[in-house]
Amino acid sequence: MTNRNLRKSPVPEWVHGKWVQVYLDRDPLDRDHGYARVAENNGIPGVAVIPVSGDLVGMVRLYRPPISRVIQEIPRGMSDSGDLRTEAARELREETGLVVPPSSLVDLGSVFPNGGLLATELRLFAAVIDPVDQHSAPEDEDEIDQFLWVPAGELMSVIKDSGLVEECERDAFTEVALLRALLHGLLPLASFTSVGR
């Protein structure tokens, strides 16, 4: 169903700082029906960065209150300025200690996590890290529990089993970034050959 007449509310119904805005948009043809729209960070896209070094992927472990568990995912965060490359390099540095020039990041495109409810866009980037630079420590240790390097093939096995095994991680941004990094040739295809067996 396409409803191009939907009237988007310019004023949120509820706000939680700059982080979350909840709107109720109206259908002029159906006065009783509305659409909830949740925006993050006043509509500025967030960023996520997949660090890759050979066949390894840099991951952070942290507690996510909405799902009440510690999860392993790629570094990500909100953008303060809208300069997404610079913000992605900053998030990478804060969460992993890895320092890269913003211009060296590979743009992997956008992801819309739930277009039926969330007016949220996340821009994915990849950072190719020299093995010499793999040993780093997060700048913001209050935000994450641990930074670690994980073999890409191991991550793909986890993704393959995530619908079957309850303990497996299921971070959609990480899965999309891993696939796009592979398709961009940033991870060796050989590290994925044993996953389907």
Say which amino acid occupies 7: R
94-150, pLDDT tens digit by residue? 999 999 999 999 999 999 988 878 888 999 999 999 886 667 777 766 778 889 999
Q: For 48-71, how does the pLDDT look when each residue is reduced to its tens digit (9 = 90+)?
A: 999 999 999 999 988 888 878 888
What SS3 string covers 56-78?
Answer: EEEEEEEEEHHHCEEEEECCEEC
This prediction has a pTM of: 0.83
**44-109+128-186 topology per CATH:** Nucleoside Triphosphate Pyrophosphohydrolase (3.90.79)
Q: How many CA atoms lie within 13 A of 14 on its CB side?
A: 6
The helix/strand/coil state of 148 is: strand
Domain ranges of the chain: 1-43, 44-109+128-186
Q: Which of 170, 159, 180, 177 is nearest to 58 (CA)?
A: 177
* Rounded Cα–Cα distance for residues 6 and 111 (Å): 23
